[in-house]
Structure 1
Amino acid sequence: MKQQAFYPLFCKSQQYAWGKFGTNSIAGKLWSSNQDKSLDSNTPYAEFWVGDHPNGPSKVEYNSKKVTIPEFLSQDLSLLGSSILNFTNNEPRLPFLLKVLSINKSLSIQSHPDKKLAKKLHSQRPEIYKDPNHKPELAIAITYLDAFVGFRDPIEIYNNLMHYQPCKDLVGVEIVNNLKKQISNKDGKAVSKTLKEIFKAISTAKADIVSTKVDELIKLIHNKPENEYTSDDKLILRLNKQFPGDVGIFLTLLMKYCHLEPNQAIFIGPNTVHNYLAGEIIECMATSDNVIRAGLTPKYKDVEQLIKMLDYDILDKPTKQIMLGVEIEKGIFQYQIPVQDFLVQIIKMKKNQSLQLPTSHSSSVFLLLNGKISNTDLNEKKYSPGTVWFIPQDSEITIYSHDQTVLAVQAMLGKK
């Protein structure tokens, strides 16, 4: 096969209930442009996928047909490059999935297993855990992201239990009193054990009891003047409209809230409880389906497994860090993460500039988010937002901006 500098990809949209509708969705608009299809104002366009995940594989036009990335790469493995082939044991696939998410309402409260647990769960219950891989994630805000990631400071958890009586009722007075003593004694192991007991008490409570306690919680908030509502009060009311009576409403009182502005990012490793609430983001992850849920979802919940696996070590532990990309070259911002499965770079260009894309250590995928570009020279075809390329390792590509600023993202294998 004669190697080109890049190969256009035709990518899938995922239409989940939590997505933004029609042209309000960045994910939808990218898909519309990429596929040259119109958007339906009544359809929630939740995600735009770039990669070869079997639930939404991107396709390459080859020999007058559109074939999946593995089918395309199997014709000539050199297109994938030695670094990814070594990582995948010579399988013709990408080890990562790049997405754009447009979030209108809360996703599930969830976590992902590490590799060891993923292999175990896949061997025991392959019908639920469909692969043996871990699923580390990097979320980068395009507009903003509101999310919960990890657990709150234990003092804040204790204060929430005292402030919201229905939540304290679910947990029990003895456990709450234990937490207070352990915080005072700065006993990290005991705090971790008690936090696990608190999470278990809430997440395993019977559905009818939870529903009753949520009703009490809503009445408690409504009894206050509206101008005295806290941020947690407002969020509880919002989540109850989305998932009435759901146990996840109480679990969020244990979880650490974070807000990301454009270009800010957060890395979510294994065994970390989290959920996305609202916003629009770039997300990159290891290719896997392993999600273990506990609330704010109509999907299957494996509460017992989630309780076992979560990281409850929170006393005097650094909070999850919001990060920015490091400018490795002018206009190229790289996000430093602790896994090799993927590496993400944001590309920013001013009007009428040129920039050479980094492609030396790995083949990659490239997604144009904003602006118009050409490659090779300014007289060539202009590419619009929604353009996606597969770029073989060691390709030399220079892109040119025109009369608009450019924002793009490139995902590839991480460096050792």
Structure 2
Amino acid sequence: MLIFIENTPRAYAWGSTEALPDMLGTAPTGEPQAELWLGTHPGSPAHVAKATPVQHTLIDLVESDPDRYGVDGGPLPFLLKVLAIGAPLSLQVHPDRDQAAAGFAAEEAAGVPRDARERNYCDPTHKPELLVALSEVTALSGFRDLANAREDLLLLAAAARELGLTDGAEGFERAACRLVGRDAGELRRDFLTWVFTRDTCITAALACLAEVLAAAEAGDIGFWERALEEGTIDPDRLAALRALAAAHPSDPGVLVSLLLHLVHLAPGEAIFLGAGQIHAYLSGVAVEVMASSDNVLRAGLTQKHIDIEELCRIVNTGELVDPRFPSERLDHGLIAWRPEVPEFQLMRARVREADAETGSGFSDADAATRIDLPAPSPVVLVVTAGKVRIERPDAQPSEVVSARRGQSLYVSAGEPICITGHGEVFLATVGHDER
């Protein structure tokens, strides 16, 4: 069966006020709308759209016939989301399988309510995730070379000294000194622990950061202009620091950001976040798929619960060589992202009508006139551009739909599906090894 599904976007503070309403064809409410969840996670299960007078969720559908609608007789192991990032998210990491199971069991045994603010482990499962940009997306993802972080901290120190901000300069210098001399992984973990002690030098550095960045932007620091000309300073890094300092003044996570890769994803580029990889999304619109879990350990840039000790226990302190995750071409118009996890893979299908004008945000050369896709396991899809027709061979009426931008479908396991029309579709299903 092909079943339209829908959900109410989650109104987190970092959401955009315009992006999701624009995609869904709804009126903006003036409030931030951050995430659209399309799956069976109990935190916000998708609903069967306009099916009956009584609202049914995808959980209800799966429970009505687990063998027909579920995966291995249970809920969907993946969760598809659309993200609209209007402000920086928290710095965070996700646990691996064993850490998630142990953490969940310990908090259950301790009687910590699952909706408690101080709860770290809401689910007994891990949360690997993959994000694909729909617009340009900016993110912090994984640790970079410590030498680059030290250079940036020392440049900030020099700028502070030129402005006569001695205490702030000494704070940046002390931070830089903590990134020298021992195993890189130990230095990163110790830096995370130290920066959240809110030592007076950290407070001083953060207090002068906005002034340093404003003076740099105004051209009031002579050596800074020379450093920009020589390429010593990354203008994108400065822009990210300004955004973080404006959104979270005095938050130590702003300094932690200097240890991480700053990534700019063009539409269609992706990053994969494995267990323990520290990250934060800063801006943009994206499709995201993950194991169906909401386990998050936070390290700043948030008003939510922070547990630095637990985060430092599970964080992967190794250097990440390349944050981007490559796609593979399956057929003309069809690409996939297939990380080595059994819960999910993500595909992007682009189709066109031979005699239609482009107008869908991508080149006709990227699209096929028809895409046939196996569906041995359930599929959840969202249309991100144009309008498409989805059907099964020799289809009954319940197996043929037309869907426009912003609409989503649940597709039960069974015969292949055929996609035609003129548009773009993202499709999530179980991992490649499980198909």
TM interval, short-chain normalised: 0.7 to 0.9
Query: 2: distance between equivalents of 1:415 and 1:102?
Result: 27
Q: 2:412 aligns with which of 389, 392, 396?
A: 392
Shift of 1:79: 2.2
Query: 2: distance between equivalents of 1:381 and 1:221?
Result: 53
Counterpart of 2:335?
333
Contact 1:59 / 1:68 at 8 angstroms: preserved in 2? yes
Counterpart of 2:149?
157
Shift of 1:10: 2.2
Counterpart of 1:200?
193
Could you tell me which amino acid in structure 2 is paired with residue 372 of structure 1? K
Could you tell me which amino acid in structure 1 is paired with residue 132 of structure 2? I
**Structure 2: any 5+ residue segments left out of the alignment?**
114-118, 158-166, 220-224, 229-234, 355-367
Query: 2: distance between equivalents of 1:393 and 1:381?
Result: 16
Shift of 1:411: 0.3
Kindly provide the CA deviation profile for residues 341-372 of structure 1, in whole angstroms up to 9, marking residues without a partner as x. 11100111122464344233311111111111
Counterpart of 2:104?
122
Kindly provide the CA deviation profile for residues 12-34 of structure 1, in whole angstroms up to 9, marking residues without a partner as x. 3111111111xx31x23344x4x
Counterpart of 1:68?
57
Query: 1: distance between equivalents of 2:401 and 2:77?
Result: 31
Counterpart of 2:363?
none
Contact 2:172 / 2:205 at 8 angstroms: preserved in 1? no
Distance 1:254 1:347, change over 3 A: same
Contact 1:204 / 1:303 at 8 angstroms: preserved in 2? no
Distance 1:300 1:321, change over 3 A: closer
Query: 2: distance between equivalents of 1:389 and 1:225?
Result: 47
Contact 1:333 / 1:346 at 8 angstroms: preserved in 2? yes
1:227-306 matches, cutoff 5 A: 227=219, 228=225, 230-306=235-311
Contact 2:15 / 2:34 at 8 angstroms: preserved in 1? yes
Contact 2:154 / 2:172 at 8 angstroms: preserved in 1? no
Distance 1:137 1:108, change over 3 A: same
Could you tell me which amino acid in structure 2 is paired with residue 399 of structure 1? I
Contact 1:171 / 1:202 at 8 angstroms: preserved in 2? no
Counterpart of 1:104?
86
Distance 1:224 1:72, change over 3 A: closer
Contact 1:263 / 1:324 at 8 angstroms: preserved in 2? no
The two structures have a TM-score, normalised by structure 1, of: 0.84
The two structures have a TM-score, normalised by structure 2, of: 0.80
Counterpart of 1:18?
14
Kindly provide the CA deviation profile for residues 293-348 of structure 1, in whole angstroms up to 9, marking residues without a partner as x. 0111011111111122211122xxx5134134212122111112011111100111
Distance 1:362 1:153, change over 3 A: same
For residue 67 of structure 1, give the secondary structure of its aligned residue in structure 2: coil
Shift of 1:180: 3.8
Larger mean CA deviation between 39-48 and 340-349 belongs to 39-48
For residue 383 of structure 1, give the secondary structure of its aligned residue in structure 2: strand
Shift of 1:111: 0.5
Distance 1:339 1:354, change over 3 A: same
For residue 395 of structure 1, give the secondary structure of its aligned residue in structure 2: strand
Shift of 1:121: 1.3
For residue 184 of structure 2, give the secondary structure of its aligned residue in structure 1: helix
Could you tell me which amino acid in structure 1 is paired with residue 69 of structure 2? L
- How many residues were matched structurally? 381
**Structure 1: any 5+ residue segments left out of the alignment?**
183-189
Kindly provide the CA deviation profile for residues 192-234 of structure 1, in whole angstroms up to 9, marking residues without a partner as x. 212222222112325x764442122223334436353743333
1:286-365 matches, cutoff 5 A: 286-314=291-319, 319-352=321-354, 354-365=369-380
Shift of 1:381: 6.4
Query: 2: distance between equivalents of 1:304 and 1:339?
Result: 27
Query: 1: distance between equivalents of 2:150 and 2:16?
Result: 35
Query: 2: distance between equivalents of 1:159 and 1:355?
Result: 52
Counterpart of 1:147?
139
Could you tell me which amino acid in structure 1 is paired with residue 287 of structure 2? I
Counterpart of 2:125?
133
For residue 159 of structure 1, give the secondary structure of its aligned residue in structure 2: helix
Distance 1:373 1:151, change over 3 A: same
CA RMSD of aligned residues (A): 2.6
Counterpart of 1:94?
76
For residue 164 of structure 1, give the secondary structure of its aligned residue in structure 2: helix
Query: 2: distance between equivalents of 1:7 and 1:330?
Result: 26
For residue 65 of structure 1, give the secondary structure of its aligned residue in structure 2: coil
Shift of 1:170: 5.0
Counterpart of 1:415?
432
Kindly provide the CA deviation profile for residues 68-102 of structure 1, in whole angstroms up to 9, marking residues without a partner as x. 11211222233236xx21xxxx32x1111101111
Query: 2: distance between equivalents of 1:77 and 1:381?
Result: 23
Could you tell me which amino acid in structure 2 is paired with residue 203 of structure 1? F
Query: 2: distance between equivalents of 1:191 and 1:331?
Result: 43
Shift of 1:47: 1.2
Contact 2:45 / 2:59 at 8 angstroms: preserved in 1? no
Shift of 1:179: 4.2
